[in-house]
């Protein structure tokens, strides 16, 4: 065939446009992923994640654009012939059918019933639900219902699996267990899957790559560590993880760096931004340290600020310091373990490497 494992463009979505009642919610959407890859679509409510998922599934038609899955152009292929399975947020199980009947449903709907009992049993074994085959789905826990929904999606051996907020109905602990379980299942079987989520931790945890969406566009599409360490825009920086965030104005260049004047003093960032422009600087809180010295940091390769402490939260595995900050700013520092001795109202010295400083030009 035209595809092989690792095929970089197993799914290719090109120039997809979608509008509702004359309002465009997506325009020129391009997106592609490799075979076997696990990708998340991450973004705030209304950014278009579900729309993109539904267009790929064929549950909604695009106004224009093109989609290729493996060797097939699926743009005009009806949903039931795309060989794409969807796991919905509420699992959409049939309450009057047993677990096994729910799983068999997908095969029956396709008229693909050869060896059905064996295939249903295999699919249930994958999600460790064989013991429940003859049980009613209504008596199952949320996690068990999700496993049945996954078995039903996988029994047809889809070319692509789409999951719309698959963990949102589960409590936190179960959600984490199911994330680990589902991720290893998909990996072991080499299944290509797209998760829709608005939970950044979930996206970081389950995906090979994450497409961060905002207003119908992909702002950045990268692996979790790149997204976290090198967000391309302030939106991505704020949406994926926490950060210390200060706004200011670029006042000068030094070598390949910019000096930004903020309410907390001058910050040096390892990027060249136009002098005079407004900027946002950021740094991940675990890269910020609390130091004893109050000396000027000039020439040390570090940025140093001295905010007044608003709060120190001892969370056990970490201690979070919040400094007083102006509107739109956020002063936060994450220290590992239990750190006592910080008092509200005291002035602290916080410090981080220039090379860890993120900075972006923003509209003034
Ligand atoms: P959520 O996380 O809340 O589900 P989302 O990122 O999945 O959000 P979409 O549901 O794709 O976002 O919606 C994208 C935009 O399209 C929104 O502005 C929404 O109001 C609009 N929209 C989605 N479906 C329809 C529809 N059937 N009719 C009209 N507008 C719609």
Confidence category of residue 346, pLDDT binned at 50, 70, 90: very high
pLDDT at 321 over 90: yes
Judgement on whether residues 123 and 191 belong to the same structural domain of the protein:
yes
- Take atom 19 of ligand 1 and give the residue whose Cα is closest: 46
As for how many domains the chain has, the answer is 2
Judgement on whether residues 73 and 107 belong to the same structural domain of the protein:
yes
In a domain, 5, yes or no: no
The proportion of the chain whose per-residue pLDDT surpasses 90, expressed as a percent, equals: 73
- Take atom 23 of ligand 1 and give the residue whose Cα is closest: 51
CA 52 to ligand 1: nearest atom: 11
pLDDT at 276 over 50: yes
In angstroms, how far is the first alpha carbon of the chain from the final one?
53
Burial of 352 (0-12, 13-18, 19+ CB in 10 A): buried
Judgement on whether residues 261 and 227 belong to the same structural domain of the protein:
no
Q: Which residues line ligand 1 (CB under 6 A)?
A: 20, 25, 43, 45-51, 198
CA distances to 105, 248, 257, 273 from 266, rounded to whole Å, are: 64, 9, 12, 15
User: Phi/psi zone of residue 231: left (φ > 0), alpha (ψ -120 to 50 degrees), beta?
Assistant: beta
Confidence category of residue 70, pLDDT binned at 50, 70, 90: very high
Mutation pick for ligand 1 pocket among 49, 88, 195 (CB with most ligand atoms within 8 Å): 49
Judgement on whether residues 223 and 84 belong to the same structural domain of the protein:
yes
Global confidence as pTM? 0.90
At residue 333, the pLDDT reads 97
CA 216 to ligand 1: nearest atom: 14
pLDDT, tens digit, for every residue of 155-166?
Answer: 999 999 999 988
Judgement on whether residues 228 and 316 belong to the same structural domain of the protein:
no
Mutation pick for ligand 1 pocket among 27, 46, 165 (CB with most ligand atoms within 8 Å): 46
Q: Strand pairing of 209-214 and 217-222? A: antiparallel
CATH number at residue 254: 2.40.50.140
Judgement on whether residues 181 and 258 belong to the same structural domain of the protein:
no
pLDDT at 3 over 50: no
Confidence category of residue 6, pLDDT binned at 50, 70, 90: low
Judgement on whether residues 161 and 267 belong to the same structural domain of the protein:
no
At residue 1, the pLDDT reads 38
pLDDT at 193 over 90: yes
Judgement on whether residues 355 and 307 belong to the same structural domain of the protein:
yes
CA distances to 291, 307, 357 from 322, rounded to whole Å, are: 15, 9, 18
Judgement on whether residues 130 and 189 belong to the same structural domain of the protein:
yes
Judgement on whether residues 300 and 271 belong to the same structural domain of the protein:
yes
At residue 2, the pLDDT reads 44
Domain hosting 203: range is 11-234
Judgement on whether residues 210 and 288 belong to the same structural domain of the protein:
no
Q: How far is the CA of 47 from the centre of ligand 1 (A)?
A: 7
pLDDT at 47 over 50: yes
Confidence category of residue 168, pLDDT binned at 50, 70, 90: confident
């Amino acid at each position: 065939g035209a595809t092989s494992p690792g095929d970089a463009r197993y799914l290719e979505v090109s120039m997809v446009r979608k509008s509702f009642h004359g309002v465009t919610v997506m325009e020129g959407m391009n997106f592609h992923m490799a075979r076997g890859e696990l990708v998340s679509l991450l973004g705030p409510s209304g950014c278009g994640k579900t729309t993109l998922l539904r267009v790929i599934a064929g549950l909604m038609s695009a106004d224009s654009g093109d989609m290729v899955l493996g060797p097939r152009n699926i743009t005009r292929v009806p949903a039931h012939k795309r060989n794409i399975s969807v796991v919905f947020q509420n699992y959409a199980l049939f309450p009057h059918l047993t677990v096994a009947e729910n799983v068999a449903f997908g095969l029956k709907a396709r008229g693909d019933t050869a060896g059905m009992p064996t295939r249903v049993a295999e699919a249930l074994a994958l999600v460790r639900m064989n013991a429940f085959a003859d049980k009613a789905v209504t008596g199952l826990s949320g996690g068990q219902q999700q496993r049945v929904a996954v078995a039903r999606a996988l029994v047809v051996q889809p070319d692509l699996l789409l999951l719309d907020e698959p963990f949102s109905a589960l409590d936190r602990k179960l959600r984490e267990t199911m994330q680990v379980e589902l991720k290893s299942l998909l990996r072991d079987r080499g299944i290509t899957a797209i998760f829709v989520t608005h939970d950044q931790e979930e996206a970081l945890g389950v995906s090979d790559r994450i497409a961060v969406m905002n207003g119908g566009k992909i702002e950045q599409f990268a692996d979790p560590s790149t997204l976290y360490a090198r967000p391309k825009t302030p939106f991505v920086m704020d949406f994926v993880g926490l950060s210390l965030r200060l706004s200011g104005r670029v006042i000068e260049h030094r070598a390949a760096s910019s000096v930004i004047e903020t309410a907390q003093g001058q910050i040096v960032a390892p990027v060249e931004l136009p002098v005079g422009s407004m900027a946002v600087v950021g740094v991940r809180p675990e890269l910020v340290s609390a130091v004893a010295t109050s000396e000027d940091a000039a020439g040390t390769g570090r940025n140093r600020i001295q905010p007044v402490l608003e709060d120190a939260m001892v969370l056990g595995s970490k201690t979070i310091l919040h400094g007083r900050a102006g509107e739109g700013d956020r002063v936060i520092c994450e220290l590992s373990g239990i750190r006592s001795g910080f008092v509200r109202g005291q002035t602290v010295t916080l410090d981080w490497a220039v090379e860890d400083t993120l900075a972006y030009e923003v509209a003034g």
